[in-house]
Chain A
């Protein structure tokens, strides 16, 4: 194995969840302001906002915790 140190996988997992969660969360807010012509079932519960927020927080925690680690 190369002697070079690499970032742990948890760093990448945190980053991708944080990025995707942020996009979904912000899009959910946009959809409240500009509702789509055709709604999905249970659209009134705004799953994109709360689920996006959960992803963003979970990913952000993993990203911040591992950003300085190498393996």
Chain B
């Protein structure tokens, strides 16, 4: 495909964005004077700042190119990632889990494992998280390179290197605070830069109803426009998955595993100024999360309609003989946006990738510095040395991400790659966290060996299917398969194995005393959070409203 040219005005918009981001990084540098400023943004953010940053840290390449591309590939079932695959877990985090995280004054999620279990469990999770974060960070680099390649015609190598250097520069300047500021700017740029694609798509085709009708006419055997009504039989929906895979694999294990244990997003809640703000962080984010399908899913559905219309002139890119699903959104921008708006659309995508990668790198430098370096390699490190280490690990993390970016490029779809990684690390960790936080007699040895068994079995299942050691149907319990269905079910089995091993080992190993677990385990901890507040100001009230909206959306698109 011929590269889409950018006009002088488009370049101006892009340059304004880069000037702002680097300028803010430089401005915030004078407020970053110690390691708590660098790693926790001084713990002074409001729930709105922390909440939008919480969502935006997740709103990188995955949400934009990946989800639009996946809607093209799988249909409306992708909306499950935003609704049942996110909201219950976010509300559970805010209502039940955040008090244990925030009140224990930990600096990272592995830090909780150290307090609840022991050092070896913390280090195991710290290493797994660090590796996962760098793999995911590579996705953001790859996606950014895709945009630069599509719009400007730069080659992959140059695009990735330029992107990496930019992110390393501004995260290195002021750490988490800089990352949070740019994440919030990115949130607004994404809405203003990309929602217009959906509006113009609806204008061109006629209405949302017309979009759905045309897709149904194109696919009479398989539904691309429903959420649940075709989930009883995997043959009837575009994702080839049944409701069991959606509810157990995505809605329970993958979703809770990501939203309640992934330090990348939870780190934003740790930056909140008090416990109520920390609890409100994921609850506020849940409302914005539910709205995102009106950008990405709608754009994916519009792309399906246009690609099947012979006279539309719309066709996805091909790489090496495969359809590049992730090119759907950039091509829609090129279709609808005149000069000026093209610059805004490209900037919105770039901002998403840069913020997404910055989120991964800021989480990586914290876990590396506290949970690996200080915990194992240099226990007597001073605060100033840790601040230096945070900056140094930022640069090293970005360099390693470059390597993983090339690996991400070999996957047909970004989301398949993401879910594969999450099912290795987050799914078993969720079992460990859930059991550890709610059952007092789970032992350190149980947690450690449960995690080892869960992570290794998930990885082994992935390799076994990839190299055809056994059939995918053994995991999915279905004769029809898709990569996504396999990810859901693999996550479920990893969770079951981790939970089972954790419980069995805990029955036969030494338990910690109850009084050592006060503040860390439900049932042993006094629970009167926010009880002094009026009902309308309590996090639980807003969580119920969010749940009602979630149910309404699912019924609306049943």
Residue positions of A touching B, CB distance < 8 A: 1-2, 4, 6-7, 9, 12-13, 15-17, 19-20, 23-24, 27-28, 31, 36, 39-43, 45, 47-48, 51-52, 54-55, 58, 71
Nearest CB of chain A from residue B319's CB, rounded to whole Å: 25
**A42 pairs with B204, CB closer than 8 A:** yes
From residue B547, how far is it (CB to closest CB) to chain A in Å?
28
Q: Which residues on A sit within 8 Å (CB–CB) of B31?
A: 1-2, 4, 6
A20 to B10, CA, bound (A): 10
Contact, CB under 8 Å: A4 / B30: yes
Given A9-B184, A23-B340: 15 more A-B contacts, CB < 8 Å: A1-B34, A2-B42, A6-B31, A7-B27, A12-B181, A12-B185, A13-B185, A17-B188, A24-B343, A24-B344, A31-B339, A41-B336, A43-B338, A45-B200, A47-B200
29 contacts between A and B (CB under 8 A): A1-B33, A2-B37, A6-B31, A9-B184, A13-B184, A13-B188, A16-B16, A16-B17, A16-B185, A17-B188, A19-B16, A20-B347, A23-B13, A23-B16, A24-B341, A24-B343, A27-B339, A27-B340, A28-B340, A40-B336, A41-B204, A42-B200, A47-B337, A48-B338, A48-B339, A48-B341, A51-B192, A51-B341, A71-B44
B118 contacts across to A, CB distance below 8 A: none
Dominant SS at the B interface?
helix
Residues of B within 8 A of A4 (CB): 30-31
* B338-A28 in contact (CB<8A): yes
A42 and B336 contact, CB distance less than 8 A: yes
Does B338 contact A36, Cβ atoms closer than 8 Å? yes
Give chain A residues whose Cβ lies under 8 Å from the Cβ of B12. Answer: 23
Question: Which of A20, A39, A47, A51 is in CB contact (< 8 Å) with B16?
Answer: A20
On whether the beta carbons of B13 and A2 are closer than 8 Å, the reply is no
A13-B12 Cα distance, complex, nearest whole Å: 17
Min distance, Cβ A17 to any Cβ of chain B, angstroms: 6
- B203 interfacial by beta-carbon distance below 8 Å: yes
Per the bound structure, the CA–CA distance linking A45 and B199 in Å amounts to 12
| Min distance, Cβ A41 to any Cβ of chain B, angstroms | 5
Q: How far is the CB of A68 from chain B (nearest CB, A)?
A: 17
